[in-house]
Amino acid sequence: MSKALASAILQKGPPALSGKTITYGTAGFRANADMLECVMFRVGVVAALRSLQTHKMVGVMVTASHNPAADNGSKIVDQDGGMLVHEWEVFATRLANSTDEADMSSTIDSFYPDFNSQAAGGSATVVLGRDTRVSSPKLAELVKQGILTCGDRGGGVCRWHDTCGGEGAKVVDLGIVTTPQVHWAVLRANQKGDGQVPPLQGYYEEHAQALKVLLGSKQTNVKFHVDCANGVGAKAVEEMNKTLSEHSIGFSLVPFNVGDGDPELLNEGCGAEHVQKSRKLPSGVPASGGNDKFASFDGDADRVVVWYKKDSNLVLLDGDKIAALFSVYLCHLLDASKLKLSLGIVQTAYANGSSTSFMSSVLAKHKENVTGEVSCVATGVKHLHHQALHYDIGVYFEANGHGTVIFSDSARSKIEERSRGGDAAAQTLHAFASLINPAIGDALSDLLAVMVVLEVEGISLEQWAGYYEDLPSIMTKVLVKDRNAIKTTKDEQRVTEPKELQDAVDAAVSKVEQGRCFVRPSGTEDCVRVYAEAGKQETANKLAEDVGTDITFPSL
């Protein structure tokens, strides 16, 4: 059957990539939309095979997130609602780049050895979503065709065909949605186990019910202006506002940069990526009073950063600051409930050193009731998510605003038991766990969580910003012949090869007050990225420059 499927892929799908290769990374496949037709068809095949293997629904989101409008891509959602497991990332890469039937068949057999035995009687269901790019409808249709190419196997006979009516493959098309909503739909469908994908209204209702518990009898009138990056977040904000109003919850989200019918505006001078990287106001900021609160989503609404205006400047509250806000709040609740759970705060090496120091001090203050640590992992949200699973409660955010809070099954059970006994702190913890998206970073969920914590704790944006002051930092890159010549530790904070490079970094850092610096090979281009921090901006700049000079060894 693997040979028959390989033949069907080559016959029914667009022509294979010629002279180009593409890799499934942390963000899935991503490239200029013009080169993705073959890739997206095969993404549908991979998703259907993963569903067949796990006997669960999986998902595909067609999006290039914060990339320009001309790009596109896809993210495969695994059966647990999270990101695709690593070995299937490798499989997706191999299948996307395969050019002949024999190679494709052997690739299927090597990564899915049970395919031939499971294909005859199994079935696959894939939840499909897409963003607002001009290319997304066509590419989503190609994903669908790839899924259905794994079609009807009724009667134990492999009959590859293009209809959705058989038992072999089914597509549940959600249309234009946020990436986190696809993750939510897959997670909830597999938790229910009835073969049905819950309507998206359930997503909005879950948030509203959690907010009602968290706010209690408190009367609120909280407004945030939301930069939707001219992407899918605008639709989700509109629907959330309707649900909040129906439940008389005094939160309102005022969207701007909503697209206005022009998909070419996507991420153009706006959105979380623009605000976090440039530290500049996005386009389209409405005229407003000085006390207004703002947030920016990225194009597919899985990242959020918060900000406000001070004079004509932007004060940024990034992913590190969101992690700090949530960690302080959770520590207070754990203290009050005395549940004695472990709380892990997971960062990458790019997290500002001041944030690490602050959160370490918070955990130290609550050590009587909280077993906590701040850990560092390799760059990429999949690494943060995996590490966060090691704790009862795992808080992870990248500085770019992608992150969430994960509650383990054991922690949820203990919290629910204490909550049923009437413990107010446990009831609040339970509601917070219901508000936050457990599968993936979710801009809308995270923003509502920020809003409710600020409101119930009586914290202003200025007070939150004052938790700590970021150390001045800079990130540069140095072009090299072979980035693979540089090896690092798992957390990417130290170079293991060549040793003399780390010696040079250590020597440079030792001369700098509050200095920190690391180098790591890029995952996508032949360059080495250099990150430096210091007590003053000019010192950080000089540190990065000095270390960058030391990278130009003949071997590199």
Annotated binding site: 65, 298, 300, 302, 398-400, 520-524, 529
Residue whose structure tokens are 């360059």:
527
Question: CA torsion angle for 406, 408, 409, 410 (degrees, to 10)?
Answer: -150
Nearest-10 Cα torsion for 530, 531, 534, 539: 30
Phi, psi of 213 (to 5 degrees): -70, -45
Question: Which token pair is 479?
Answer: 């072009």
Return the bridge partners of 420, or none: none
- Element housing 504 (H / E): helix 499-510
Please say if 65 is a catalytic residue: yes
Residues facing residue 293 across a β-bridge: 224
Return the HEC string of 319-332.
Answer: HHHHHHHHHHHHHH
Cis before residue 498, ω within 30 degrees of 0? yes
CA–CA gap between residue 259 and residue 281 (Å, rounded) = 17
Annotated binding site for Mg(2+): 65, 298, 300, 302
Q: At how many degrees (to 10) do helices 201-215 and 179-192 cross? A: 90
**Dihedral over alpha carbons 112, 116, 117, 118 (to 10 degrees):** 60
- What SS3 state is found at 502? helix
Relative to beta strand 222-227, strand 251-256 is parallel
- Cα 303 from Cα 296, distance rounded (Å): 8
| Binding-site positions for substrate | 398-400, 520-524, 529
Within 28-135, residue ranges assigned H as helices are: 37-54, 86-97, 101-111, 115-118
Tokens in use for 369? 């009731």
CA distance 445 to 441: 8
- Distance, in Å, from the CA atom of 218 to the CA atom of 380, rounded to the nearest integer, reads 38
Q: What are phi and psi of 88, to 5 degrees?
A: -80, -20
Radius of gyration of the chain (CA): 24
The alpha carbon torsion through 63, 64, 65, 69 (nearest 10 deg) reads -100
* Amino acid in position 401: G
What does the alpha-carbon distance between residue 203 and residue 14 come to, in Å, rounded to a whole number?
35
Catalytic residue among 65, 135, 419, 473: 65
Of the candidates 159, 131, 128, the residue with the CA atom closest to the CA atom of residue 144: 128
Distance CA 553, CA 337 (A): 56
Q: d(Cα 65, Cα 81) in Å, to the nearest integer?
A: 18
Backbone angles phi, psi at 451, to 5 degrees: -60, -45
DSSP 265: G
Annotated active-site positions, please? Answer: 65
